[in-house]
Amino acid sequence: VSRTVLLTAASLAVAGMTDATNATPMSIRQPMRELVSAKLHSHHYRLLSDPHFVRGHYVARSINPSGRVVLMEINPEDGALMGEILI
């Protein structure tokens, strides 16, 4: 996968985050944030932003184990980490 495709996907995910933040009440977002944070922490990632539902999966800005800022994709069905996109 080319870097251009990854950057385009990352920019679309970030653009979608602004719309998703205002649409979901805080009471629904908070438990998902805690679940995603626990899942990322178990893989040595740190959560930086609220997870947002984008095109069938959750996307969360985080710091990977080597200290780089990434967008993590999380499967909503089983909580599995689908991948990361360097920002």
Single-letter amino acid, residue 47? L
0.85 surpassed by pTM: no
Q: Using only C-alpha atoms, what is the Rg of the chain? A: 12
pLDDT digit string (tens) for 46-77?
A: 999 888 888 888 999 999 999 999 999 998 88
Q: With 80 as the cut, is the pLDDT of residue 38 above it? A: yes
| Separation between Cα atoms, residue 87 and residue 46, nearest integer Å | 15
Taking Cα atoms as reference points, which of 53, 46, 47, 44 lies closest to residue 76?
53
Name, in order, each residue with C-beta under 8 angstroms of 29's C-beta and a sequence gap of 6 or more: 50, 51
- Model confidence at 45, pLDDT cuts 50, 70, 90, reads very high
